[in-house]
Amino acid sequence: MPKETCDVTCIHQDTVDNVQSKIDQHFQPNASEIFKVLADQTRLKIAFALTIEDELCVCDVANIIGGSSATASHHLRHLRKLGLAEQQKKGKLVYYSLADPTVKQMVTMAFQLNEGRGAHV
């Protein structure tokens, strides 16, 4: 197995400064919360379902995940709280959809990456 560290210490200061500057300008610590929420298999399954159908009611989501409406609602609330999903009440039903195309793209890309790796990560 190849060694996973450098044999000598050699810092490329221009590169480090460039990257650090961009991180300081753009990095938002709460961005990691998005990945935490989507790291849950059930929530990722729900998000993926919402890439297939533009909107789903809570009852449909519950059926898709094999859980209760309360469980589905709990997971959907996490997605909504971080701005990944939005809800709309229509009569007696509550429908959820992904908040914007970027979320759909991110979820789709995660599945494409997994498929491209042979799904044995």
CATH number of the domain that 73 lies in?
A: 1.10.10.10
Is residue 19 in a domain? no
* 76 domain residue, yes or no: yes
The enclosing H or E element of 96 equals strand 93-98
Considering the domain boundaries, does residue 64 fall inside one?
Answer: yes
In a domain, 58, yes or no: yes
34-86 per-position pLDDT tens digit = 889 999 999 999 999 999 999 999 999 999 999 999 999 999 999 999 999 99
Kindly report the number of other CB atoms within 10 A of residue 84's CB atom: 26
Domains: count for the chain:
1
Please check whether residue 87 is in contact with residue 55, taking contact to mean a CB–CB distance below 8 angstroms.
no
**Predicted pLDDT at 90:** 97
Q: Which residues constitute the domain of residue 96?
A: 32-116
Is 8 a member of any domain?
Answer: no
Residue 85 lies in a domain: yes
Residue 18 placed within a domain: no
How confident is the model at residue 118, as a pLDDT?
64
Cα gap 34→53, rounded to integer Å: 21
Look at residue 30 in the predicted model and tell me its pLDDT: 79
Q: Is residue 16 part of a domain?
A: no
For residue 88, give the 3-state DSSP assignment: strand
